[in-house]
């Protein structure tokens, strides 16, 4: 989820939330960085607590060794010294390990993670299910029903995406999955009716 920068502009006070149990996996390739869901508040002593396999890792202010992590507080955003990217750097020896992080969160930094983090509630499709019977079998079909020699067909339309909470990425993918295009084609042809009823139209192939 995405959370606003928790700053009360009237009193210039941050509404800090305690974040606990946030799980991440350290990448297996360089750079060995993890970006937290929220920006951590820089405090003395630190409020960051990183645990790996039940063992607390040590925060350092330089390149980390195995079992250590380095929070990058250098990247101030919009000139605010309290604001940073929420990135933690790890040693290559810890690559692929799962960590659990607790910290004091100030809100979410919007970046390339937006499509998967932004979640919204949607109502369900307002279109009802429909069915149309066809006198002839379609040239292609998804499945067959019944048995026998003579074939007909049915065109069915089903209700779309159900109500729920989706990330921006999820809802766009669902829309792509059910998207389609329809083409109505008028066909022209000649006919040799040979009907012997004075229709005067015996032309055609």
pLDDT tens per residue across span 106-138? 877 665 555 555 666 777 677 777 778 877 777
Question: What tokens appear for 129 in the block?
Answer: 């299910």
Q: What is the mean pLDDT of the chain?
A: 78
CB-based contacts of 203: which residues, under 8 Å, 6+ apart?
Answer: 190, 192
Residue 120 vs residues 12, 163, 173: alpha-carbon distances, Å: 29, 11, 14
CB-based contacts of 171: which residues, under 8 Å, 6+ apart?
Answer: 120, 122, 161
CB-based contacts of 202: which residues, under 8 Å, 6+ apart?
Answer: 192, 193, 194
d(CA 188, CA 205): 13
d(CA 43, CA 104): 9
Domain residue ranges in the chain: 7-111
Q: Which residue has the tokens 């006198």?
A: 135
d(CA 72, CA 93): 19
Please say whether the beta carbons of 117 and 154 come within 8 A: no
Looking at the predicted structure, is the pLDDT value of residue 35 above 50?
Answer: yes
Please say whether the beta carbons of 49 and 101 come within 8 A: yes
What's residue 2's pLDDT? 42
d(CA 85, CA 76): 8
d(CA 178, CA 123): 17
Q: Which of 46-50, 85-89, 129-133 has the lowest mean pLDDT?
A: 129-133
**Higher-pLDDT residue of 199, 50:** 50
DSSP assignment of 41-94 = PP-SS---EEEETTEEPEE-SSS--TTEEEE-----BTTBTT----EEEE-GGG
> What pTM was estimated for this model as a whole?
0.52
Q: Which of 2-16, 56-70, 92-106 has the lowest mean pLDDT?
A: 2-16
């Amino acid at each position: 989820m995405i959370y606003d920068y928790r700053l009360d502009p009237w009193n210039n006070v941050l509404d800090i939330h305690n974040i606990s149990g946030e799980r991440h996996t350290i990448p297996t390739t360089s750079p060995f960085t993890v970006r937290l869901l929220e920006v951590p508040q820089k405090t003395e002593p630190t409020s960051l607590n990183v645990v790996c396999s039940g063992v607390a890792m040590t925060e350092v202010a330089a390149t980390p060794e195995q079992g250590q992590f380095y929070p990058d507080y250098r990247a101030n955003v919009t000139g605010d010294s309290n604001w940073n990217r929420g990135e933690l750097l790890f040693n290559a020896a810890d690559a692929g390990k799962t960590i659990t992080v607790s910290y004091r969160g100030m809100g979410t930094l919007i970046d390339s993670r937006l499509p998967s983090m932004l979640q919204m509630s949607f109502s369900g499709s307002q279109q009802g299910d429909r069915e149309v019977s066809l006198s002839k079998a379609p040239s292609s079909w998804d499945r067959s029903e019944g048995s026998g020699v003579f074939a007909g067909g049915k065109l069915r339309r089903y209700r779309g995406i159900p109500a729920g909470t989706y990330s921006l990425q999820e809802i766009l993918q669902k829309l792509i999955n059910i998207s389609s295009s329809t083409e109505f084609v008028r066909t022209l042809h000649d006919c040799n009716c040979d009907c012997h009823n004075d229709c005067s139209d015996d032309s055609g192939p």
